[in-house]
Structure formats: structure tokens, C-alpha cells
Structure 1
Amino acid sequence: MSTEQEQALVGGWTAFHPLTPEDKKVFEEAMHGFVGVVYTPLEVSTQVVNGVNYRYKCSASMPPSEVIWQAIVEIYQPIDGKPHVVGITRI
């Protein structure tokens, strides 16, 4: 199956890939106002459903500490409405 076919497969997750400007916009909108841990998206995987599910692979830190870990931030973008965080998992 080609990459284009995988991306068009409804319900299937894409492979993790670099963020597009739209992916960055969804992340920033969903994380607006989030305080405490700073999440920096590195890659994203998407799933087309009734809207779009996003899995952002992120580096995470809690300033001023220099400790950095990895996390998956899951965001749902409904067809009509604002994207919102549905889960954060430390990996």
C-alpha cells in the first residue's frame, strides 16, 4: 500500500511524520492556556474519523528543571469546533 493510500484510509493511523503548518496550528490551539509542563511537538500521526485524531510525539519539560522526557499528546479536532486534548501519555 502506498503512503497516499495509507493517509486516505479512514480509521487508519498514518506513520509519524514532520508537522505541517496545519498540524502546528491544531496543536497550538488545543494547548492554549495549558500550564506546568511544556510540550514541544516533534512528529505527528493522524487518523481520519468524524473529525481528525492527532498523536503528537513531543519532548516535555517542566522549567526551570533541565529534565526532558518524551510524551504522546492526543488531540481531537472535530469537524466543527475547537481541537482539544484527550490524553497525554509519558513514554
Structure 2
Amino acid sequence: MNIMTTEIPGGWSAFDYEITGVAKEVLKEALEGFVGATYTPSAFATQIVAGTNYCFLCTGQIVVPNAPRFPALVHVFKPLNGKAHISEIIRIKP
């Protein structure tokens, strides 16, 4: 099930564990040129504003041999016109 709306104007949707083609493209665009770590999404939520905020639940990994993986939230803003960009990356700790 793809949940893209919320009952609260400006509120966040629930996490969707089926990454849509649009969400994949937004994350790919935001990470273009990003170096040092990779982020693989497992879920995402959206917030409609003057554009769309995305929150991706990801598995991150620093790009060095045998680096451990870690959970992270990757926040991306996709404006109405223009490229998506990373607004924040939060490493999730136990």
C-alpha cells in the first residue's frame, strides 16, 4: 500500500515500505555527487509543503573496506521547480 497523504495539512505521511519509482529518483537526485557513504532506503515518508519533504529510513555504510552498516534517516527536500537536495542526515543510535 502506498500512503502519500495525511489527514493533517502539512503533516507527515506514515512510512511506506514500498519505495516508489518517484521516491527512488528523488533520493538518487539528492545523493548525486555525494561521497563518503552510501544510503540504501527501506522506507520513506513525505510531507507536502511548497515542494515535498522526504524522510528516508536507510541503511548507511561508510565507503571503506569492511565498514559496518548503520541505520540513518536521510531528509531530502524536492522543490516544486529544481533539484532535490539533502537537508539533513541523522544517524540512528540505539
**Corresponding residue SS for 2:76:** strand
Return the TM-score normalized by structure 1. 0.88
| Partners of 2:6 and 2:12 within 8 A in 1 | no
Q: How many residues align?
A: 88
Aligned partners of 1:89, 1:44: CA distance in 2, in Å?
14
Runs of 4+ in structure 1 over 4 Å off: none
Corresponding position of 1:11: 10
Which residue matches 2:77? 76
Identity of aligned residues (%): 39
Match of residue 21 from structure 1: 21
Structure 2 contact 55–73 (Cα < 8 Å) conserved: yes
Superposition TM-score, scaled by structure 2 size: 0.86
The 5-angstrom pairing of residues 1-91 of structure 1 reads: 7-9=5-7, 10-17=9-16, 18-63=18-63, 64-91=65-92
Q: Distance in 2 between matches of 1:70 and 1:23?
A: 18
- Quote the RMSD (CA, aligned, Å): 1.7
Residue 62 of structure 1: how far off its partner (Å): 1.5
| Distance in 2 separating the partners of 1:70 and 1:8 | 25
Shift of 1:66: 3.7
Report SS of the residue matched to 1:7.
Answer: coil
